[in-house]
Amino acid sequence: MHSQLGEFELIQRFFKTGSEAMLSSKNPTILLGIGDDCALIKPNSEEAIAITSDMLVEGRHFFAKANPQWLGHKALAVNLSDLAAMGARPIGFTLAIALPQVDSSWLEAFSKGLFAVAQQYSCPLIGGDTTAGPLNICITAFGAIPHGAALKRSGAIAEDDIWVSGSVGDARLALAALQHELNLSQTDFQTIEARLHQPTPRIELGIALRGVATAALDISDGLLGDLNHILRQSQVDAEIFLDQLPKSSTLQRQSEAIQNQFSACGGDDYEICFTAASNRRDVINDISKRLALPITQIGKIKNMQSLKPTIHIIDRNGTTLSASDTEILLKSFDHFA
Amino acid sequence: MHSQLGEFELIQRFFKTGSEAMLSSKNPTILLGIGDDCALIKPNSEEAIAITSDMLVEGRHFFAKANPQWLGHKALAVNLSDLAAMGARPIGFTLAIALPQVDSSWLEAFSKGLFAVAQQYSCPLIGGDTTAGPLNICITAFGAIPHGAALKRSGAIAEDDIWVSGSVGDARLALAALQHELNLSQTDFQTIEARLHQPTPRIELGIALRGVATAALDISDGLLGDLNHILRQSQVDAEIFLDQLPKSSTLQRQSEAIQNQFSACGGDDYEICFTAASNRRDVINDISKRLALPITQIGKIKNMQSLKPTIHIIDRNGTTLSASDTEILLKSFDHFA
């Protein structure tokens, strides 16, 4: 890690203060935090370490002039969402950030959002890098999982149920309103805005699903597009019941086309999509109650019918959508579009 | 980790191929590489994990139009240098990269440089993120260290010797030539160019120094500036013998002022500066012989004389430089200058 002089020492001290406040509670997993060539962590001997890295770029993942507090929240939350999808308990994270200039009010707000999430999930900042450059936020997050308990994408088998947590499509709806693709009342917008800017990583759910889910991932690019990763890695097909996709009452006030498109392919949901044997339904419903988090069965895993894993979409009449109609629906949110 | 569609699937496949080629050799520490929500690693139960993250930005850490193969080399090497400074054995790394466009020849050359270093140090790519944006390369690297053996910055004590590996100042000399600060013959430039573009992480040295060095770091921002971090964290002073700083014959052909400035404060050296008790000199000289790497004693650690750790610079006549002369010399390489 580079040690910058001058203005950047100020920034580093800023982040270091937030980090030390959390590490002072004597986290036994973190042996060494910010300030040396490396951070040092040591999980329990029975645990593996989960690692995920996401890079957020201005104009791509967030608007120029984005609220820095929300940005700090989201930058860490999307990484914790990946840990959740693996069933990992957060350990800590590194932050590498390029800043176009040193703006202390921006940094204060960004840190506030960042450390609020870090505190909530007991996930301290343990190292990183700061530099000048076009705004770019790269967080690498670390979690611990009992050896063998990780929720991979490759374990789904035929006749497993497919589930999704919370509701899907609201982040896309908020984005559509911001981009003037559609009109939303002020009240409706305020109800769902946080889904876009301040996603909730489903850490407790991921941990609860250890030994229950056969495969899992978090939905960042759209439910169906992401589900495809499970299908490809598990070499299975899926049937999805389109009208079962869980939607907020706000989204339910939109046209059916928008409801379908946004819930199936919206992106930025950061809910967990997972598969489980059908004899685990009671367990899953109990988890849902305990966490006060809706978990909805939205389909079934099927044996592969062709050489390529396929999602068969069933509409409200029980009719399977044609390949071309499915194709249209599958046009998923693409950060590089 | 996001999964991009379209062009970015091509890029991801590119990196994945290089990653899988290395993981096929069945690395027992890597339980899961690219392709899931997280990578999974599991060190031996006696080992801690060292983590370091560096972000390289165009126009700041490298020139626009920089040779992409060198860039791939350097991006990983500077992170491995941090692992070396900790005494860690490399385990793997994640790569998050923002690219302004998809340029397959650029990617091929970048990957070639990246994976050559990865292969040399048995450090596979295990995950990451790709996105569109101004060119930005963020690598987070992981290493393993026997619990308690890490070379921290905080262990130097009075009367320890101060050592540095290899030679210092050549990277700064190459940069000066490229920036037309001075003229260098074609031959001289070619002799030292690799020191700037393709640094050698001193991994074997770091491992050999476990149990020998009392403190260590790698020199990225200039020898004296970086040494200050050891002094601050160990709460000690240092005496540095200016004419003992190891310099290449190329640098020795420059003026004395340039020799002093570039060797003491040049930056981008990626050598290891460490401290050790004076009864370890034979051990250190043996390590130097075994690794065929010069290791030079350049000073002594002293008890702190004032409230602030200080470097006392001794010139060739045995005279201690004044504070103002030292100040001038200490104007270290600053990425945010």
pLDDT tens per residue across all 337 residues of chain B: 444 445 566 677 778 777 777 776 667 788 998 888 999 999 888 999 999 999 999 988 888 788 999 999 999 999 999 999 999 999 999 999 999 988 889 999 999 999 999 999 999 999 999 999 999 999 999 999 999 999 999 999 999 999 999 999 999 999 999 999 999 999 999 999 999 999 999 999 999 999 999 999 999 999 999 999 999 999 999 999 999 999 999 999 999 889 999 999 999 999 999 999 999 999 999 999 999 999 999 999 999 999 999 999 999 899 998 888 877 765 643 333 3
Measured in angstroms, the CA of A50 and the nearest CA of chain B are apart by 5
- β-partners of residue B142 are B51, B92
Q: What are phi and psi of A56, to 5 degrees?
A: -110, 130
Report the share of chain A in percent with pLDDT over 90: 77
pLDDT tens per residue across span A278-314: 999 999 999 999 999 999 999 999 999 999 999 999 9
Q: What are phi and psi of B280, to 5 degrees?
A: -105, 10
Disruptive mutation site among B9, B29, B37, B136 for chain A (greatest number of A CBs within 10 Å): B37
Q: What are phi and psi of A78, to 5 degrees?
A: -70, -30
CA atoms within 13 A on the CB side of A141: 33
Domain boundaries defined on chain B: 7-146, 161-327
CATH number for the domain whose boundaries are B161-327: 3.90.650.10
Under 8 Å between Cβ of B234 and B154: yes
Residue B300 makes CB contacts below 8 A (sequence gap 6+) with B159, B160, B161, B162, B238, B239
The helix/strand/coil state of A277 is coil
Disruptive mutation site among B4, B51, B79 for chain A (greatest number of A CBs within 10 Å): B51
Q: Cα-atom radius of gyration of chain B, to the nearest Å?
A: 21
Under 8 Å between Cβ of B314 and B320: yes
Which residue's structure tokens are 């010069």?
Answer: B294
Q: Which residues of chain A does B229 touch, with a Cβ-Cβ cutoff of 8 Å?
A: 3
Q: Which of A9-18, A243-252, B266-275, B326-335 shows the lowest mean pLDDT across its residues?
A: B326-335
- pLDDT score, position B287: 98
Distance (Å, whole) CA B270 – CA B167: 10
Tokens linked to A130: 């700061």
Does A268 reach chain B within 8 Å, measured CB to CB? Answer: no
Distance (Å, whole) CA A22 – CA B194: 42
Distance (Å, whole) CA B129 – CA B139: 10
Q: Which of A10, A95, A37 is nearest to B220 (CA)?
A: A37
**What architecture is domain A161-329?**
Alpha-Beta Complex (3.90)
Under 8 Å between Cβ of A243 and A316: yes
The conformation of residue A279, written as its DSSP 8-state character, comes to G
Residue-level length of chain B: 337
Q: Tell me which CATH homologous superfamily contains domain A7-146.
A: PurM-like, N-terminal domain (3.30.1330.10)
pLDDT at A275 over 50: yes
Flag whether the pTM goes above 0.90: yes
User: In whole angstroms, how far apart are CA A284 and each of A226, A275, B106?
Assistant: 21, 11, 48
The helix/strand/coil state of B256 is helix
What's the rounded mean pLDDT across residues A189-217? 97
Q: Which residues of chain A does B136 touch, with a Cβ-Cβ cutoff of 8 Å?
A: 55, 57, 98, 133-134, 136, 138
Cβ contact (<8 Å) for B36 and A153?
A: yes
Q: What are phi and psi of B196, to 5 degrees?
A: -85, -45
Distance (Å, whole) CA B212 – CA A124: 31
